[in-house]
Chain A
Amino acid sequence: MPVFTDRRSPTTQAPPPFRRVDDKRGTWGMAFFVATEAALFIAMFFAYYYTDKSNAQWRTEIPSKLHYALPMLAVLLTSSAVLYWGEQQVKKQRYGAARIALIGTILLGLGFLVLTYFEDMEHLQHLTPRTDAYGSIFYAITSLHGAHVLFGLLMLSWVLVMPRCEPALYTPHRPYHNVAIYWHFVDTVWIFIVALLYVAPNLYNYS
């Protein structure tokens, strides 16, 4: 824990009673931001299943291809693992290793976006957001997630170019950790997207 060092002027009387600096407010803020983002995705999943329920024609949709979605899942899960390792390095005060982990995460995130591009190119051949409501909701959810990946990459790059990424007495107190929370969240959302939008339709197509 960082120790508080005060700039005492000769006239200042007392030392503060606690010499630790609170560096968790930003983490809490990020946690609740992630919570509200999760609620946004839940609303979107609800829209998907609600429209599906009232709509027999969805059963005839060509099930979403898994040959891109699963490798993309692997890429994102790997990136989360790498970033988690990076967080451990920050805790051990090995900041060089932490930055390398950050670069690895960013590269994997970019890889995910490249795969997204190829997936969309293939998928758009027979389904666009303007085809029907299924296309609208499918692309709304995946694009929203893609935007989150992009935003996450921007934040990760920002931590990468910062002069320091270690916990500090001044804001931002724990930039590495807080951005990592967001990145893990984005990865988790992709797990749900793969399960609900890619795997589940394939399952009930065969049953």
Chain B
Amino acid sequence: MSTAVEQRLFALWETPKTLKGHLSTVDHKEIGKRYIATAMIFLFVGGIEALIMRLQLARPDQAILAPETYNQIFTMHGMTMIFWYASPILSGFGVYLVPLMIGSRDMAFPRFNAFTYWTYVLSGVLLYISPFMGQSPHGGWFAYVPYTNVPYSPGWGMDFYNTSLILLTISTTGGAINFIVTILRLRAPGMAVSKMPLFLYSTLTVSFVTVFSLPSLTAANIFLELDRRWATHFFDVAHGGNVVLWQHLFWFFGHPWVYIIFLPATGMISMIVPVFSRRPIVGYAYVAIATVLTGLVGFGVWVHHMFAIGEGHMGMSFFSAASMTISIFTIVQVFAWLATVWKGRPVLTTAMHFAIGFIALIVVGGLSGVVTAVIPVDWQMTDTYFVVSHIHYVLVGANMMPVFAAFYYWTPKMTGRMLDETLGKISFWIMFVGFNLAFFPMHLLGVLGMPRRIYTYKPGLGWDSINMLITVGAFILAFGILLSLINFFWSLRHGHLAGKNPWNADTLEWSTESPPAPYGSVHIPTVVTRHPLWDEHEEEEDPSDERVLDQDRLTLSSTWLDAETLALARMPEDTILPLLLALGFFILFIALTFQWMWVALGTVIYSFAIAAVWFWPKPEEGELA
């Protein structure tokens, strides 16, 4: 391949390294890295909040935090971790990897991709304005009414909760639509649905789940904000409102959200385990089907968060049964991974350590989940540390562990440098030990009756030494994470060069340079099997240079089932409009927080004007009749 072609592609796709270039780039690789870095920052902020809480709880009758401060910190910890870390980090890997995995030059809507990133950051900024006012949300991450209504929460905290979540929802839903259209329309020729990498299955599934579940949260947030500042009565029992309505709306979103956090992580594991077992995954079709079914059945289990409020017997039995059913789909995946390791020749790299550590933790977290799906047990355990333990096994175990596996596995692709394996393994073992030390004893603490969300407790209840142990574990876990961070910055300069495919992996992203050129691969690849880089087929074989597409910013679009090439997809240029639009939304939601309605009206007009410019036909197209 002549370098002239590469130069042309470079000129078409490269973003200039200027301030304007950085602010207006629509390159999915750049945006994906930003997603990951931003989510990591939120992980550290949320982690520091957790450590402060653990200091407070380490011994009985501590007074490091005032009760109100404690409430604010545990709420911010929950919101930060669940909304601003756990899902965006997976979106980040998705935004970076999906176009490379499907052999496309970018996402389906590159400018919209930039917009969803900026709204994500700015929604986090909006949330973190509140601590500086001393009025953070303090009602827990699920913010049950009536406590979160104005008479009991008069400050601005819960208003920040509502507005920042609605803004984040816009970002997340937009990102999900982008993933759906990208995966369904831009796959490389030949990558039929039966040949898609499993990460695409999980990303596609959660994108659909996002589209249909998040509006429920938006409705709940709108109702609560109207109740709080506009004197309506959605949740006001005295005027015919219903407080349980909040719980239904929230959990109809909330439980699918658990799978939004969980499934892409399993998708990553389904990519990593086979590569380091040196064989294709066992039961590809079953894993794919289990992924889709988890997303689907995930819509039918939300009431298991509400067993304690007293619903009808029939209803509760149904949701109990559905909650147990859904564990079957997870178990299908677990056995597929185990069988893959069993039948393969495992290589214990750091990524593989994290992957296998994840399998151990998800089994524990899944089992405590099945236990709490049993209604009598749930009545006993609800609002105790048993549930805290369960949620952390599921969310930390099944999100953070795969994310670190992915971090060790894909960072060489993103930076071009290998991370240090020895330091990585040390980091893994410290994290794994710290994690179990911190969260396993919480099961016991729950059985011993310690309620969640108390800011301190009296000595002599049998909780003292366990709490101290948990705090020590939390700090060990934090130290392990810190080691991985050090590893990353050290490797940026000193790591071995990665080359194209350091792990001898099978999927298309490893056929590009590390880090990939702005245009991905020179020839849009073609695919004939599930394992493009392990088979005999030469992906970039293209004797007459038909798939170079160096006339303009172009990529191929294909049919959604069989991925037969359909047409040329034209990709937009870099533009600063996404940032301008996101800023408009940001100011709009600040205004809505404080009911500055004229400012809100102004920003709506501004946003519409920006959007109108965004979608205005370009003048230069006239010469192309």
Residues of A whose CB lies within 8 Å of any CB of B are 4-9, 11-25, 28-29, 32-33, 35-37, 39-40, 42-44, 46-47, 50-51, 54-55, 57-58, 129-137, 140, 154, 158, 162-164, 168-172, 175
Q: Which residue of A lies closest to B549 (CB)?
A: A16
Pick from B191-199, B442-450, B612-620 the stretch touching chain A. B612-620
Closest CB-CB distance, B492 to chain A, in whole Å? 36
Shortest CB–CB separation between residue B369 and chain A, in angstroms? 26
Check B181 against A32 for contact (C-beta < 8 Å): yes
Q: How far apart are the CA atoms of A152 and B154 in the complex, in Å?
A: 36
> B4 within 8 Å of A by Cβ?
yes
Sample of 5 further A-B pairs with CB below 8 A, known A28-B180, A35-B211, A170-B617: A7-B624, A22-B557, A133-B233, A162-B616, A168-B621
A-side contacts of B618, CB under 8 Å: 170-171
**Which B residue's beta carbon lies closest to that of A38?**
B215
Q: How many A-B residue pairs have CB under 8 A?
A: 186
B220-255 CB contact bits vs A (8 Å, 1 = yes)? 101100110011111010011110110011001000
Q: Which of B233, B551, B570 contacts A12 (CB 8 A)?
A: B551
Cα distance, A131 to B232, chains bound together (Å): 8
Please name the residue on chain A nearest to B543 by beta carbon: A14
Q: Determine if B557 and A133 form an interchain contact, defined as CB atoms under 8 angstroms apart.
A: no
B608 and chain A: residue at smallest CB distance: A154
Tell me whether B215 and A51 are in contact (CB under 8 A).
Answer: no
**Quick one: closest B residue to A37, CB to CB?**
B215
B424 CB → nearest A CB, Å: 39
Chain A contacts for B112, CB-based, 8 A: 29
The smallest C-beta distance from B25 to any residue of chain A, in angstroms, reads 18
A45 shortest CB reach to chain B, Å: 10
Candidates B177, B241, B249, B568; contact of A16 at CB < 8 Å: B568
| B285 interfacial contact with A, CB 8 Å | no
Minimum C-beta distance from A53 to chain B (A): 9
Could you tell me which B residues sit within 8 Å of A by CB distance? 4-5, 8, 108-109, 112, 173, 176-178, 180-181, 184-185, 211-216, 218-220, 222-223, 226-227, 230-234, 236, 239-242, 244-245, 248-249, 252, 544-552, 554, 556-557, 565-570, 572, 608, 612, 615-618, 621, 624-625
Cβ-defined contact, A22 with B232, below 8 A: no
CB distance from A23 to the nearest CB of B (A): 8
Q: Which partner residue on chain A sits nearest B213 by CB separation? A: A39
The residue of chain A having its C-beta at the shortest distance from the C-beta of B612 within the complex is A158
Q: Could you pull out 7 A-B pairs where Cβ atoms are within 8 angstroms? A: A19-B568, A25-B569, A46-B252, A51-B241, A134-B240, A140-B223, A169-B624
A4 neighbours in B (Cβ, 8 Å): 568
* Nearest B residue (CB) for A164: B617
Q: Given the known A-B contacts A7-B551, A175-B615, are A50 and B242 also in contact in the complex, defined by CB atoms under 8 Å?
A: yes
What is the CA–CA distance of A175 and B611 in the complex, to the nearest angstrom? 13
Does the CB pair B181–A36 fall under 8 Å? no
Given A7-B551, A36-B211, residue A170 in contact with residue B570 (CB < 8 A): yes
Choose among B554, B566, B570 the residue with the greatest number of A CB atoms under 10 Å from its CB.
Answer: B570
Q: What's the Cα separation between A32 and B572 when bound, in Å?
A: 21
CB–CB A39/B212 < 8 A: yes
Instruction: Give chain B nearest CB distance to A172 CB in angstroms.
Output: 5
Give bound CA distance, A140 to B226, whole Å.
9
Contact between A47 and B568 (Cβ–Cβ < 8 Å)? Answer: no
A11 to B551: give the CA distance in the assembly, Å: 10
Name the CB-closest residue of A to B547.
A17
B624 partner, pick from A5, A11, A32, beta carbons under 8 A: A5
Give, as a whole number of angstroms, the nearest-CB distance from A156 to chain B.
12
B177 — which chain A residues lie within 8 A by C-beta? Answer: 29, 32-33, 36
- Docked-complex contact B181 and A25, CB < 8 angstroms: yes
CB distance from B110 to the nearest CB of A (A): 10
CA distance A43 to B250 in the complex (A): 10
B185-A24 in contact (CB<8A): yes
B253 to chain A, nearest CB (A): 9
**B567 & A14 in contact (Cβ 8 Å cutoff):** no
Contact of A50 among B212, B245, B608, B616 (CB under 8 A): B245
Flag if B245 contacts A28 (CB, 8 Å): no
CA of A58 to CA of B554 in the docked complex: distance in angstroms?
58
Contact of A8 among B109, B181, B551, B567 (CB under 8 A): B551
Interface centre among A13, A22, A33 (most CB of B within 10 A): A22
A29 vs B180: C-alpha distance in the bound complex, in angstroms? Answer: 9
Q: Do residues B566 and A14 form an inter-chain contact, with CB atoms below 8 A?
A: no
Contact, CB under 8 Å: A36 / B546: no
Contact across chains for A21 and B185 when beta carbons are under 8 A apart: no
Known contacts A18-B568, A47-B219, A140-B226: does B236 contact A133 (CB below 8 Å)? Answer: yes
B108/A25 in contact, CB under 8 A: yes
Which A residues lie within 8 Å of B612 (CB)?
158
A15-B546 in contact (CB<8A): yes
Q: Which 8 A-B pairs have the closest CB atoms?
A: A40-B215, A136-B232, A22-B557, A43-B219, A14-B545, A133-B240, A133-B241, A22-B567
Residues of B within 8 A of A24 (CB): 185, 557
Are B233 and A132 in contact, with the CB atoms below 8 A? yes
In the complex the two chains form, what is the Cα distance from A32 to B560 in whole Å? 15
Question: Judging by beta carbons under 8 Å apart, are B240 and A20 in contact?
Answer: no
> Do A22 and B545 touch (CB < 8 A)?
no
Do A20 and B567 touch (CB < 8 A)? yes
Most chain A CB neighbours (cut-off 10 Å) among B215, B549, B552 = B215
CA–CA, A181 to B198, complex, Å?
32
User: In the assembly, what is the distance between CA of A37 and CA of B215, in Å?
Assistant: 7
Looking at the complex, which one of B211, B566, B572 makes contact with A22 (CB distance below 8 Å)?
B566
| Given A21-B568, A132-B233, A140-B223, A58 and B544 contact (CB-CB distance below 8 Å) | no
Contact B185 A39 (CB under 8 A): no
Give, as a whole number of angstroms, the nearest-CB distance from B260 to chain A: 14
A32 to B215, CA, bound (A): 13
CA distance A58 to B242 in the complex (A): 13
Output the least CB separation between A56 and chain B (Å).
Answer: 9
Instruction: Knowing A32-B211, A35-B212, say if A169 contacts B621 (CB, 8 Å).
Output: yes
Q: Assess whether B545 is in contact with A133, with CB atoms less than 8 Å apart.
A: no
Q: Is the beta-carbon distance between A18 and B249 smaller than 8 angstroms?
A: no
Question: Which residues of A sit under 8 angstroms from B624, Cβ to Cβ?
Answer: 5, 7, 169-170
Assess whether B621 is in contact with A170, with CB atoms less than 8 Å apart: yes
Q: How far is the CA of A135 from the CA of B181 in the complex (A)?
A: 39
Q: How far is the CA of A43 from the CA of B212 in the complex (A)?
A: 10
Beta-carbon contact of A16 and B554 below 8 Å: yes
Output the least CB separation between A125 and chain B (Å): 18
A129-B230, A133-B233 given as contacts; is B608 within 8 A of A7 (CB)? no
Q: Which chain A residues border B557 with CB–CB below 8 Å?
A: 22, 24-25
**B219 nearest CB neighbor, chain A only:** A43
Complex Cα distance A6/B625, Å?
A: 11
Is the CB–CB distance between B216 and A43 below 8 Å?
Answer: yes
CA distance A48 to B579 in the complex (A): 37
Q: Which residues of A contact B215 (CB under 8 A)?
A: 36-37, 39-40, 42-43
Is there an interface contact between B608 and A130, defined as CB atoms closer than 8 Å?
A: no
Answer whether A22 and B570 are a contact pair too, CB < 8 Å, given A7-B551, A132-B233, A158-B612: yes
